Amino acid sequence: MRKTNVRTIWEKAHNSEPIVAITAYDYFTAKYVDEAGVDIVLIGDSLEMVVYGKETTHTATMEKMIYHTEAVASAVKNAMVIGDMPFMSYHGSIQKAVENAGRFIRAGAQAVKLEGGTKMSDTVRAITDAGIPVMGHIGMLPQWVHRIGGYITTGKDEKSARILVDDGKALENAGAFAVVLEKVSSDATKLITAQLDIPTIGIGSGIYCDGQILVVNDILGLFDKFAPPFAKKYTDLKTEIIGAVKQYTDDVRNKKFPEK
């Protein structure tokens, strides 16, 4: 049994201990971030962009997400593993949403994440009633990018901030154990976190959340197609990889590798 679960995440938040979450999409990356001591590993549908080079997350499928979830879950021993429900896997039929959430649990995840606030509360309630923990996601919604007109910051005025509070409350009342706030203004984030009893996990939403999440490729310098302004690059593995492969290439061409 993994050490981190819904209860320990809740306890961290209520003890003012910041929650650390990160994405991972393969066995070895998941193994290493788990050894680094993160609390949550999310198999994000962001894999479509950072692993497969797509322009949006819309092309993620259940089959692809389950495949990557199985790999990550095999590696993680301590952190909580959460599967990101892809576009159109929880829209429409609530029964379909519950069944797809169950597929993530069978693949080794301990919970699922889905986008949307009040409009998704009935779906969240049905999934949690089936015994599956749900992490909500409000603010800037990547799966809704065509409707909202881009990757914009939300909650910048009183009215939109109040809508986000209502969305968070609806998810909390539906049984969500935590909620991601993506690209929410700092003032709105502070208000939402104060109003909710469940933990808030921020991505590009400032300092007032109970925890933070980033895409692992961004912090490692492995994705330069689109660099979110809020992501901090902690190392530059792109340069390291290119340098190592160039050295290998030179050694082979100059007959320095393999050695006798």
Residue from 114, 41, 101, 125 nearest 75 by CA: 41
pLDDT tens readout for residues 190-243: 999 999 999 999 999 999 999 999 999 999 999 888 778 899 999 999 999 999
pLDDT of residue 2: 76
pLDDT of residue 1: 61
pLDDT of residue 209: 98
Task: Give the integer Cα–Cα distance in Å for 65 and 84.
Answer: 8
pLDDT of residue 148: 74
Inform me whether the pLDDT recorded for 259 exceeds 90: yes
pLDDT tens readout for residues 156-199: 999 999 999 999 999 999 999 999 999 999 999 999 999 999 99
Give me the mean pLDDT over the 127-142 stretch. 98
Residue 180 near residue 203 (C-beta atoms within 8 A)? yes
Give me the mean pLDDT over the 116-127 stretch. 98
Residue 40 near residue 73 (C-beta atoms within 8 A)? no
Inform me whether the pLDDT recorded for 34 exceeds 90: yes
Residue 76 near residue 43 (C-beta atoms within 8 A)? no
Mean pLDDT score of the chain: 96
pLDDT of residue 225: 82
Query: Is 182 marked active-site?
Result: yes
Q: Which of 158, 182, 240, 259 is catalytic?
A: 182
Give me the mean pLDDT over the 47-62 stretch. 96
| 3-class secondary-structure state, position 17 | coil
3-state helix, strand, coil in the chain (%, to 5): 45, 15, 40
Fold for the domain defined by 6-235: TIM Barrel (3.20.20)
